[in-house]
Amino acid sequence: MAEFLFIYRGGNDDKLSPEEMQQLMNKWSAWIGEGIQKGWMLNPGDALTPEGKVVNAKKVVTDGPFVESKEIVGGYSVIKADSLAAAAEHAKGSPALLSGGRVEIRPLAGLAPK
C-alpha cells in the first residue's frame, strides 16, 4: 500500500453560522474516526490557521501566504490506499467538499526516514 497526502483547499467555512460550523466539525470527526477505525487514515493531520510566513530562496521572510480563498490550504491528512484511484475514492467522503472545497491528493515519495 502507498501513502498519500490529502491537502484540503478552499471552501466557504467562513460563511457558516456557528451552528453550521459545529455540524461540519461533527462530520469531520465522524469521517476521520471512520478512516482511523477502517485503517486507511494514518494521520488525521490538522487544520491550518490563515496567518503565516513565506521564506524565499534569498532567505527573505515575508508575511503570507496571500492567495485567493479557493486556493488556501486549510489542512492536511495522511492516508494509505492501494492506488491513487483508491485514495480518490476515500477523498470523496471528505467534509471539505460540503463547503465548496477541494481535496488535492498527492502520493508520498517514501523518502522520509521511518
Taking the C-alpha atoms of residue 48 and residue 74, their distance in angstroms, rounded to an integer, is 5
Peptide bond into 18 cis (omega under 30): no
Rounded percentage of the chain residues whose pLDDT exceeds 90:
75
**More reliable by pLDDT, 11 or 18:** 18
What pLDDT is recorded for position 30? 98
Q: pLDDT for 33-75, tens place per residue?
A: 999 999 999 999 999 988 899 999 999 999 987 776 667 899 9
- Segment 68-97 mean pLDDT: 93
Q: What is the DSSP string of 4-39?
A: EEEEEEE--GGGS-HHHHHHHHHHHHHHHHHHHHHT
Taking the C-alpha atoms of residue 95 and residue 68, their distance in angstroms, rounded to an integer, is 20
